[in-house]
Amino acid sequence: RHRLLRRVKRTPALAHSSLLAAPPVRTSLYGSTKAERPGAKLSSSLRDKIMHQKMEAALKAARVDGWCLMSLTDEQRDSREIVLEAVRNAGDALQFASEQLRCDREVVLEAMKQSAQALRHASDSLKADRDFVLEAVGVKGSVLQYASQCLKGDPDVVEKAVQNDWASLEFADWRLKADLELVMKAVQVSPESLKHAAAELLRNRDAVMEACSFNPACIDYASPELQTCKDEILRDSQALSKKRAELADSSEALDDECDFYFVARDTFLGFRNRCPSFQELEKDGLLIKKPIRFADGVRGKYRKHMLSNSHRWETPEKPDPTGEQLRAVQKYLRKNTDIELVWTDYTGIPQGHRTAFEKLEFKRMLPRVNRLYLSTSVLLLVDISYPSRFWTQFEAWLAMRKCMPDGLQGAEGEGNARFHFECIHSADDSSEGAKLRRMWRRATPDKAYKVLSAPD
């Protein structure tokens, strides 16, 4: 072509005709379109072969050094096989993978096996995926710092991270740093975790005392005000630690005796409009502590003089906001003058915010509360929703049993029955009461388990 053009330049007379001939020459050499050009066809077939060879070479390189990912092409960074090989020996090379692969759970988890901090290079969608982050903090708790802000405030996610690495409490949402229960779990892993707790906890005497009951070194992180009485705090923490050990021993031994708190009959009759809480009654010295022995319960020792109430909490905070349940119990007490002591969960077990000692009392009593419903007289305060709740159904079934040396039997007949119905809030004995009797009067333990293990 160049020779032809030089000839045209040297021969002006032929220039016009020669230039007109140029397009046919170009067409014969290269084709009229790219697809028709033989050179282009050859390049296309070679391109696939070359691309395959490059992919194979990149795969081999990734197996040797994952950081090679930073110098690969976009197509190679989007190859799942190549990226998986790269992150297996250089987890942080994940940052050079394509956006699509940084959203891939398997790829990110593989990277985290080599370097837990690789989570920081994952996509935002994965950092906000609760199930994925739960799995990730199980590998390394400190990766909580890379989770979405929403998940940093998720109690389950933070608890799992803290159990894996106490220092991850530093990255939790500020609200959870003030959560006493969560902070105590971190303290049991390391007392140093207390330095990441909210300042309000470090100024709280009960919180610091509870922390010291797990490890006395926690006193070093208390506020300056509490440092002035640290000897007293440490003494109380030792008492709490001892009580916790006693509770653990009694749980292991399945002890026959358990103390419960009752209210005297006359005191209960004196309540107006509402029942005071456990904490209020304890403060006023109105609680009576009595041991309940399982063997004595079987013999019927508590049936005549003790009353346990079974009722539904009408709101999460207050069981009886209108006072109708209180009036029903007082009505029963006036008719049954033999009753001397009264137990309800609101007055007999610490409710709401609990101190460290109250938490232990709650933990001690709750698993053994069945003894009350198996051995004392039971007043069932039945409303329309009562037959649909787990706890109330469980209590009703226990109340309709009698303890015998060879197991539980139905408590039918006037002489055996310990339970009494009082319908409230428009409930009717012929409806809700009859339903409960049909459901539980003759129910075996196997049937009770089947019914009660189902969701509410």
Q: What percent of the chain has pLDDT over 70?
A: 85
Task: Indicate if the pLDDT at residue 197 is higher than 90.
Answer: yes
Phi, psi of 47 (to 5 degrees): -60, -45
- Residue 245's pLDDT band (cuts 50, 70, 90): confident
Residues 6+ apart with CB under 8 A from 92: 111, 115, 117, 118, 121
Per-residue model confidence (pLDDT) at position 21? 41
Mean pLDDT of 357-370: 86
Per-residue model confidence (pLDDT) at position 10? 55
H or E stretch covering 174: helix 174-177
Task: Indicate if the pLDDT at residue 269 is higher than 60.
Answer: yes
Tokens matching residue 20: 């007109």
Claim to verify: residue 230 and residue 171 sit in the same structural domain:
yes
DSSP letters for 58-117:
HHHHHHH-GGGGGGS-HHHHT-HHHHHHHHHH-GGGGGGS-TTGGG-HHHHHHHHHH-GG
Per-residue model confidence (pLDDT) at position 29? 32
Task: Indicate if the pLDDT at residue 38 is higher than 50.
Answer: no
Last residue of a domain, one of 205, 236, 267: 236
Task: Indicate if the pLDDT at residue 9 is higher than 60.
Answer: no
Claim to verify: residue 402 and residue 324 sit in the same structural domain:
yes
Is 21 a member of any domain? no
Is 78 a member of any domain? no
In this structure, are residues 239 and 246 in contact, taking their beta carbons and an 8 Å threshold? no
Claim to verify: residue 373 and residue 410 sit in the same structural domain:
yes
Claim to verify: residue 163 and residue 281 sit in the same structural domain:
no
Last residue of a domain, one of 202, 236, 270: 236
Is 166 a member of any domain? yes
Is 245 a member of any domain? no
Claim to verify: residue 169 and residue 270 sit in the same structural domain:
no
pLDDT one-digit tens code per residue, 339-363: 999 999 999 999 888 888 888 888 8
- Residue 264's pLDDT band (cuts 50, 70, 90): very high
Q: Which domain holds residue 163?
A: 128-236
- Write down the mean pLDDT value for the chain: 84
For the entire predicted model, the pTM comes to 0.59
Mean pLDDT of 164-175: 92
Is 241 in a helix, a strand, or coil? helix
H or E stretch covering 199: helix 199-202
Task: Indicate if the pLDDT at residue 239 is higher than 80.
Answer: yes
- Separation between Cα atoms, residue 205 and residue 210, nearest integer Å: 9
Is 1 a member of any domain? no
pLDDT one-digit tens code per residue, 54-69: 888 888 888 888 888 8
In this structure, are residues 218 and 191 in contact, taking their beta carbons and an 8 Å threshold? yes
Claim to verify: residue 177 and residue 319 sit in the same structural domain:
no
Task: Indicate if the pLDDT at residue 404 is higher than 80.
Answer: no
For the chain, the domain total comes to 2
Strands 419-423 and 377-382: parallel
- Separation between Cα atoms, residue 423 and residue 335, nearest integer Å: 16
4 vs 279, higher pLDDT: 279
Mean pLDDT of 70-91: 88
Last residue of a domain, one of 189, 204, 236: 236
Mean pLDDT of 79-96: 89
Tally Cβ neighbours within 10 Å of residue 318.
14
Phi, psi of 129 (to 5 degrees): -85, 110
Q: Buried b vs exposed e over 343-373: b needs ≥16 C-beta within 10 Å?
A: bbbbbbbbbeebbbbbbbbeebbeebbebbb
CA angle at 37 for the pair 34 and 43, rounded to the nearest 5°: 85
Q: What percent of the chain has pLDDT over 90?
A: 40
In this structure, are residues 223 and 203 in contact, taking their beta carbons and an 8 Å threshold? yes
Per-residue model confidence (pLDDT) at position 7? 52
